[in-house]
Every structure is written in structure tokens, then in C-alpha cells.
Amino acid sequence: MRKVGIIGLGHVGATVALMIAQGGYVDELVLIDTDEAKVKSEEGDLLDAQSLLNFHTKIYVGDYADLADADVVLSTLGRIDLLQANGDRFTELRANVPSVKAVSAELKKSGFSGILIVTTNPNDVIVDLYYRETGFPHAKILGTGTYLDTARMKRQVGEALGIDARSVTGYNLGEHGNSQFTAWSTVRVADRPMTEIAAEKGLDLNDLAEKARWGGFTVFDGKKYTNVAIAAATVGLMNLVFEDAHNVAICSHYSVESDSYISTPAIIGKNGVEEVLALQLTADEEAQLKKSMAEIKEKSQKFA
């Protein structure tokens, strides 16, 4: 039996719950939020939909004791209202730190020993905080990181070339934040280097990278939150764990080199991060990755 807990039923958590129920990915789904009225309403809405869906899922509002035997816990808590107010993601961080510490204490007390997947922002700093507060093994804590930023890059490349974004491979690396970058040496389309294609077609790679970097803010500007794409990224990582896929995915994981969390490719399976992969990057990309590591480390030390 597959059992998942979702902590935080805001825009992202509620969308994650819906995607899980629609896909029939789990047997039991536990909903946890400090706003009792909100989480009960989300539970009721999901239960009302059950007879209209193709799968049955046991869905209920629970508490941390219910997570003792959960396979996966998803942290989708956050303070998007603070980001809406001033656009400063580190205002949100200062508010999220106490919540993450409280959740970490409850997870430890519950006896939970599964995989913790973190969507909460600023992602890399928060994942690192979860590790330090829970003491769970590094491999069992991962964040969505630049999984979504990579998807945004693939969208931009696909649109520029008029092809399906799923035909694009490659990565956005580093922080899920301003210091992320597209590692164009890794990007290929139909097994051709994107750098070669861009030169042929006169495409501006810097422009495509910037559109990917700011894609989330473009969505945020219109609706004052983001939820669909990040929920898809969260559920995608969850399914790699359940499938024991040993599939390569970009996510925020522990880096020995930086002694913090950062996004580079890793193999994901039932144990979480099964292996971290080394990339052959250009000298400039290596420098950008080190810069991003330093920024994450500085923010972790300053705010967490």
C-alpha cells in the first residue's frame, strides 16, 4: 500500500493532492495543515470528486502520528502571501523557518522514516534546514530544486524550435533562485547539441535562459501564485520514488563539495537519492555552479 502525507494545503499542496487523486498514484493520502477550516474544505472537495475520478484513494485530514508508516511526505507549506506583498522570497524564508522547525520536530516524533520531498521555498535553503532539523539521512531528503526551472527551459527551447518540449534534454543547474543557470553544454534536441542548433538558426541562448529563469515570476505576476507546474514536478519526483525508477532527474540534493543542498542530476529510486551524477561542464558553467553553491551556503548560514 502506498501512503503519502502532504503538509501544507495551500495552492500547491491542494493541486498536488488533486493530481495524486486523479492519477491514482497512492492508496492513502493524509492532509495536514495548521488552518483547520482550509484543510477540512480541501478534504471535502477531494472526497466530493471521488465518484467522478477513475481511481479510489483514501483521503483524510490527519496529524503527524498518521505519518509514522507513510512512504513519502511532501512539504508544500509556505507563505505566498508574503511574496505577494513585497516580492522578497527571503521574507517568506524568515516566516517559513519556524514552520519547518516545528514540522521537523513533529516528523521526528512521529517515527516517520520514509522519503521527504520538499517544495517549500526558497527550496535549497529549506531542504538544508529540514536535514539539519530532522537528522534524516541526506539521501532521504530532496527538493524539487531546478526540476521546474529545467522544465521551463525545455518549454522555451521547444517553442523557439516549434517542437514538443519533451524532445529537449538537458539541465538548469544550481539554486532554485536567481543564481540558477542553463548549462547549455548539456542541452540537446533530437540528439543534437542545442548550441549547434542555435548557431544555425540565429537563436539567442541568453534570451532563452532568461525567459526560463523568470518564467515563474511571469506566472506569478498574473495570478499571484504558481501551482500547476510545481505540483507536477513534486508528483513526478514522488512517482520516481514509488516506481524505484532509478531514473535521472534534476533535483535539490546534498552536495559534499558545498556541504549544502543544490540541484544537479541524480538517480532517484525507492531510497530517495540513489546516486549523484557528475557532469562534464564547460569552465564557465563550472564557475557558475560554484557561484551558485556559494550563494546557497551564504543564505543558509544567514537565514536558517
Catalytic residue numbers read: 176
Residue keyed to cell 513526478: 236
Residue 88 phi, psi dihedral angles, 5° rounding? -100, 105
Residue 265 phi, psi dihedral angles, 5° rounding? -65, 145
Q: Compute how many other C-beta atoms are within 10 angstroms of the C-beta atom of residue 61.
A: 17
Residue 244 phi, psi dihedral angles, 5° rounding? 45, 50
Residues 6+ apart with CB under 8 A from 223: none
Cell for 283?
A: 569552465
Angle between the N-to-C axes of helices 147-161 and 205-213, in degrees from 0 to 180, rounded to the nearest 10:
140
Measured distance CA(119)–CA(112) in Å, rounded: 18
Q: Compute how many other C-beta atoms are within 10 angstroms of the C-beta atom of residue 235.
A: 23
Residue keyed to cell 506583498: 85
Closest listed residue to residue 63, CA positions, set 97, 14, 20, 109 = 109
Measured distance CA(177)–CA(143) in Å, rounded: 13
Give yes or no for a cis peptide into 265 (omega within 30° of 0).
no
Outline where DSSP puts E strands in the chain.
Answer: 3-7, 28-32, 58-61, 72-75, 115-118, 141-143, 168-173, 181-189, 192-193, 247-255, 260-269, 272-276
